[in-house]
Structure 1
Amino acid sequence: MADSVVCRDSNQNDIKPGDILKFQREAFFHYAVYIGEGMVVHQTCDQGVLKQSLGDVIQQCSFYIDNSLDLEISPKTRTQIVSDALSRVGRRGYHILTSNCEHFATWCRNGQARCKQIGEKIKQGVISVSSAGPGSVSSSSSKGSDVAAADVFCMGCTSVSKAKQQ
């Protein structure tokens, strides 16, 4: 098993197909599955599940190999992880609380869609789940609206092509 969380910059030497990569963004992390040959598959909020080059997704951020869920749930074979990730390319249906980039990556690797960072942000009071119903969130940001909270989450999960346009 690979180290559970290993700090890397743009060096790809230790990354293996099937590893989950965790990218540092402004307020949140973005997750992708490395599939080999410098490519990743990841879920975005605006364009669904994409296959892109690791260099494009890095966006000059630091990233980590994060296979930490392996300590709780055995990973699939590397071949199966890559196959499952590729099978979802083009799929849409991003949801901040139930189907985000971390859910996608952990489903591909471990067979269970899990997201630790959302729970942590709720515990820290950075976001809250609204009584308005499932999927309604609010942010402690100065904007304070559900839309602002969605914008904060999506900053890490926006596709590279859209991010470059902004």
Structure 2
Amino acid sequence: MSRKWERMVRKNTKTTNKSRQKSGQPRISEIQSDGSVTLKGRSWFLPMLLMATGVFCLISFRGIAGQDNLYWITGISYIFLAVLIYYVRRPFIKIGKNALTSRRFGGDRTIEASQINEITVSKDAVTVQIKPKGNRWVFTRLYNRFQMDELSGKIKEFAAKNNVALKEE
């Protein structure tokens, strides 16, 4: 599709979704033009660490904080940041026609199928081994809270389409 057509589709979908939401009907999901599938997980480790730090600040500085409110603001800020990260910054993997995109620590990263050495699929994890440096992307049921049945099915399709070595454990 041309870019103009894609913009028109996005604009019309947006206005239609607003009117459907006002009338109580479910939204029309936006169709991605490249045919990619995005699977989202839920990150819990960093929010749990921040929540524990916030509670620690509130408890340990309880007696000291009689005159200074900055201790309370610090503890509440840690808890607010934990809630924000838990609900907003979700890990994802976007499986396109010939590339994988994922949220890494420094931002979103994309790798082409030609850069993938092998993909390992197990019951609780999917590991993508990258050629140039030997780095690995690991998506797990425990740490990233992905739906592993759906993820492993889509990854197997991706590997078959792009002739990437697939190892099942």
With normalisation by structure 2, the TM-score equals 0.27
Higher relative contact order (CA 8 A, sep 6+): 1
Greater helix fraction, Structure 1 or Structure 2:
2
